[in-house]
Structure 1
């Protein structure tokens, strides 16, 4: 099966990111977004999907998703010569336990490499003049046994899932590019006196 443990997965994400993003003349940093809230400020955002595996930490049940979602936010501060790429690996709730806990996905190495190459090309298109990058959509083979359960999907609940219609920037399956949306988020400031 060749799934990655959390430690191996983190190492692979950073190694592949470093290998790709070192070709840009700006310094780029990769960081998981821990919060459920998107970063504040001027960010581009996009998403990708992959075949992933989940394992319930409570009951031990495992399941596969052909549409495991990773969401990216990225920006480039030209004056400081620094780019930041945040990512969030979306979880799923165990159908058996159904206790509103999201299990973290286990990724296959080739799926990690695929989504990092895709975001590399998207960043290259946005900031470095890449023309019509080749986005890889192929996933590891698999046959889903059931329909997508939106009530168990963290990405659906946050409006990020490609099976969810609540987000305007869902990639169109008829196009060959992953859509990117530029968003500006302003922090709420309490003006207590």
Structure 2
């Protein structure tokens, strides 16, 4: 995965929005949950290639998790892209997805939208709206048995999540203000697929 492409596109979005605070984006190779950070997920279209058999496949449900905080006028985003395995190889390991540049930009536009909305009180209707590009054909439903996000119990596409729940706490305006000032967030899972729901992609 092109780490520099993600970082450059993120900084470009920050500059375009004239955000005064310094923000950084770091990509975590292994999944780590930061409980006190704001959690935001998007589902993008991407392609995969098995390094064992050479099989290629596409998925419109590639789970990207952004964990966000703003502390002392410095913003930080930790990003993890959940990988997938080849369903034909018994010894397969998780492969990194390949994104087209347009979908990288769209994912980061959504991320900066959420930053503007949550940290700078910019109304959602005043933010740019973009949808992921579906570059190819996806075969069959989401393969939860070979999805890293499903294995960790954090993938919203997994219909067998057991007791894992995702919610937005019901709090008063005063309580939200206190959390913003102290940069403290309980388990908030915001999700976006860039379309009408989190399981479809606009063609």
Corresponding pairs, count: 164
User: Are positions 1:143 and 2:146 aligned together?
Assistant: no
Q: Which runs of 5+ in 2 are unaligned?
A: 169-184, 188-203
Residues 1:164 and 1:137: Cα distance change in structure 2 (over 3 Å): farther
Are residue 117 (structure 1) and residue 109 (structure 2) matched? Answer: yes
Matching of residue 15 in structure 1 with residue 8 in structure 2: yes
* Secondary structure of residue in 2 paired with 1:136: coil
Correspondence list, 1:54-69, <5 A: 54-69=48-63
State the alpha-carbon separation in 1 of the partners of residues 19 and 57 from structure 2. 38
Partner of 2:47: 53
Deviation at 1:100, TM superposition (A): 5.5
Helix, strand or coil: the match of 2:105?
Answer: helix
Alpha-carbon distance in structure 2 between the residues aligned to 1:65 and 1:157: 17
Q: Given that residues 45 and 183 in structure 1 are in contact (C-alpha distance below 8 angstroms), is that contact kept between their aligned partners in structure 2?
A: no
Deviations 1:39-70 (A, max 9, x none): 25x20001001110111112211111111111
Match of 1:38 in 2: 33
Residue 154 (structure 2) pairs with residue 154 (structure 1): no
The corresponding residue for 1:174 is none
- Given that residues 162 and 170 in structure 1 are in contact (C-alpha distance below 8 angstroms), is that contact kept between their aligned partners in structure 2? no
5+ unaligned residues in a row in structure 1: which ranges?
1-5, 172-181, 185-193
The two structures have a TM-score, normalised by structure 2, of 0.73
Contact 2:58 2:137 in 1 (8 A): no
1:175 is aligned to none
State the match for 2:85 in structure 1. 93
TM-score w.r.t. length of structure 1:
0.76
Please name the residue that 1:27 is paired with: 22
